[in-house]
Structure formats: structure tokens, C-alpha cells
Chains A and B, each alone.
Chain A
Amino acid sequence: MANSEDSQFDDLLDALTDAMLAEQDDVDHILDRFGTSQQQTNGFIHMIRNLRDAFSPQEPSDKFVKSLKRDLMGQSNGMTARLRGLPARVQVAAGFALVAGFMLITRRRLTGGLSSDSNEELPALQQS
């Protein structure tokens, strides 16, 4: 029995708080709904109103909010993240350029570059 009364009072305080937070200071309809009076709420209404007024929202400075965002966003600005941000055609073009460049270098090393280098090096080796 006591538990159900407690639970009902929990609900009453909750409803009063919700109303106060919604700036509805006239709470008579809530008291009626729970079959209670202002006197029976034992000063809770006044305290809830004071709590609402005392806990006024605080604004962080714009400078702080922007600077923190910049720091956060800068943190994950690695190469992969940057590439991901590029349009698809630029990503594909960059991929082709990389592969073509790699193939060109490899081809030069394996064919022309290697044979001419070895021919130039031979006399030098013989002289020494």
C-alpha cells in the first residue's frame, strides 16, 4: 500500500517537474488529476520552480565550439580520409596515374635503363 502511494507521489512529482520545465506554472490540473492539493505537496512545487530557475542553461563560447570542432576534424585528416573526400572520377584518375607511373618506372629499369647502365659500367670496371 505504502509502495503504491510512494509510486503515485513519484508520478506526481514527475508530472509537476515536466510541467514546470515546459514553463507551465499553473499546475492545478495536475494536482486535480492526482487528487491532491498544493498544501499536500509540502513545498515541492516551490522547490521544483527554484530548481528550474537556478539551473539556467549555459552557453559555451562560439570561439570554443568552433575551435574544438576544427581540432577534432583536423585530427582524422590523414591521407586516406582526404582521398575518400575526393570525387570518384578523381580517385580513379589518381589510381590510373599511380599504376601508369609505377609501370613506367619498372619498365625503364627492366629494359633500356638496365642494359645501358650495365654497358656504361663495364669499361669503368675493366679500368679499375
Chain B
Amino acid sequence: MNIFNRKPKQIDYQSLSDKELVALAKSDQDAFGELYERYVKKIYNYVYYRTSNPHDAEDLTARVFFRAMSHIENYVDKGVPFQAWLYRIAHNLVANWHRDRSRRKIIPLDEFVATSLRSEAPDRHAEDAEERQQLMDTIARLPAERQQLLVLKFVDRLANAEIGVIMDRTEGAIKSLYHRTLIALRDDLQMQEIGKNRGNPSESNRKKG
């Protein structure tokens, strides 16, 4: 073996699985860089919809990756894949963030629904946008775990099995929780409609007015 003629090893990180990258990332920062590229947008989206604004989303996303990087040497895949581990870090940081602020979880839809209202100027879209706004206000009143489920399903588009690993529940339990969440949303929206029709709008509608 002539080591003097050996070229530096070129690793095609993109072709590696998460598991392989995690093993490399314990001693190779470029491997962690690839994991970062794979998940930064997903984690940002998750945090964005669990916090109030893009600035907090950026701050918490940065903390998620710094924490992951500093603990990756100790990470062992005991049935919790890297992606789920990352989301768990994000979930814990978001929970701490809410606790520190001691305020209710607000999904930042005000901002982007308002943006879509502006961009979709025709009147026929205004009603849809108002309906969506009402839906998001209702979601903001759901318990944290139900909000988490909706974000993982609709924003990060994860499968039930993946969500189950993150939330430490079975796939069946996730399906059932999703069902109950939709029922709760539907009932709350119906109550708001009834309130509107009686000329006695719910608290959220009064806020909007």
C-alpha cells in the first residue's frame, strides 16, 4: 500500500442514508453538514408553525441544530431514527420556549393568511381566506400535542408511523388522535357558526372584529 500516492477520500454524502451519515458525523463535520441540509427546512417549518414569528423560528431552529451537533456523539439509534430525534429536540425547545414566555401557543397564520389575502385580491378568495383564518384561530386553541400532530402531518408531511416515533405513540394511536382532533375542530367551528347566527359571536370572533 503506497499511502503517499493515495488521494484524499471523496465521500458522496448525498448518496448516504441518515444512519450512515450519523455514524460519520460523530467525527466528520461534513457528514453533519449533509444532515443539516436535509432537515433544516423541515425543522424550520415545524418550529415556525409552533411559534409566533419567523424570528423565533430561526432562533429555535439554530438551537435545535447546535444541540444536535453537540450531542451527536452520544446519539444511538435505539428505535428512534435521526429525524425523530431531531424533531424531539425541536419539540422540547418549543415547549421550553412556550413555558418561558408563559403564553398560549399561537400559530402564526395571521401573517401569512393576510399575505395570501393581499396577493389573491379577487373577492371570491376573501371568503376562503377568512374561513382559513377562523380554522387557524381554532387550531391555536387546541392542546399542544394536537397542534404538533397537525403540523407534522400537514406541514412536514410525515407518515403516521414517523409521527408515532416522534410523539412516542403507536401508529394506531396517532390515527385515533387525528380523528379526535378533526372532531374537536369541527365541533368548535360549528359552535362558532351557531354563535354567529345567534348574533353572539364567540370570543375569537370578537377578537377578529
Name A residues whose Cβ lies closer than 8 Å to a Cβ of B: 6-7, 9-11, 13-14, 17, 21, 42-44, 47-48, 50-60, 64-65, 68-69, 71-73, 75-77, 81, 84, 86-89, 92
Instruction: Give Cα distance in the complex from A66 to B128, angstroms.
Output: 36
* Residue among A17, A42, A55, A72 with max Cβ neighbours from chain B (10 Å): A55
The reply to whether A72 and B69 form a contact with Cβ atoms under 8 Å apart is yes
Instruction: Give the residue of B44, B54, B135, B176 whose beta carbon is less than 8 angstroms from that of A47.
Output: B135
Cβ A42 vs Cβ B135 within 8 A: no
Question: Which listed residue, A13, A54, A73, touches B33 by the CB 8 Å rule?
Answer: A73
Interface size bracket, B side: 35 or more
B66 contact from A52, A72, A89, Cβ within 8 A? A72
The answer on a CB contact under 8 Å between A11 and B33 is no
A87 engages B8 (CB within 8 Å): yes
Alpha-carbon distance between A64 and B47 when the two chains are bound, in angstroms: 14
- The answer to whether B179 and A88 touch across the interface, beta carbons within 8 angstroms, is no
Known contacts A51-B150, A65-B41; 11 further A-B pairs (Cβ under 8 A): A10-B178, A13-B179, A47-B189, A50-B131, A58-B54, A60-B44, A68-B62, A69-B37, A72-B69, A84-B27, A88-B3
Which B residues contact A (CB, under 8 angstroms)? 3-8, 27-29, 32-33, 36-37, 40-41, 44-45, 48-49, 54, 57-58, 61-62, 65-66, 69, 109, 112-113, 116, 128, 131-132, 135-136, 150-151, 153-155, 157, 160, 172, 175-176, 178-179, 182, 185-186, 189
Q: Is the CB of A58 within 8 A of B65?
A: no
User: Are A57's CB and B29's CB within 8 A?
Assistant: no
List of A residues within 8 angstroms of B4 by Cβ: 89, 92
Min C-beta distance of B112 to chain A, whole Å:
7
**Given A53-B132, A54-B113, A87-B7; A47-B186 close (CB under 8 Å):** yes
Q: For B113, list chain A residues within 8 Å (CB).
A: 54
- The answer for the CA separation of A10 and B5 in the assembled complex, in Å, is 62
- Nearest neighbor of A14 in chain B, beta-carbon distance: B175
Known: A6-B176, A71-B62, A72-B33. A60 touches B40 (CB 8 A): yes
- A21, A65, A71: which contacts B154 (Cβ < 8 A)? A21
Nearest-neighbour CB distance to chain B for A79, whole angstroms, equals: 13
Across the interface, which residues of B come within 8 angstroms of A81, CB to CB?
29
User: Given the complex, which residues of B lie within 8 Å of A92, measured CB to CB?
Assistant: 3-4
Whether A14 and B40, one on each chain, are in contact in the complex, defined by CB atoms closer than 8 angstroms, is: no
Rounded to whole Å, the gap between the CB of B90 and the closest CB of chain A is: 13
Residue of B nearest to A75 (CB): B69
Distance in Å: Cβ of B35 to nearest Cβ of chain A:
10
For the complex, give the distance between the alpha carbons of A97 and B37 in Å. Answer: 38
Q: Is there contact, CB below 8 Å, between B61 and A89?
A: no
Closest to B178 in A: A13
Complex contact B135–A51 (CB within 8 A): yes
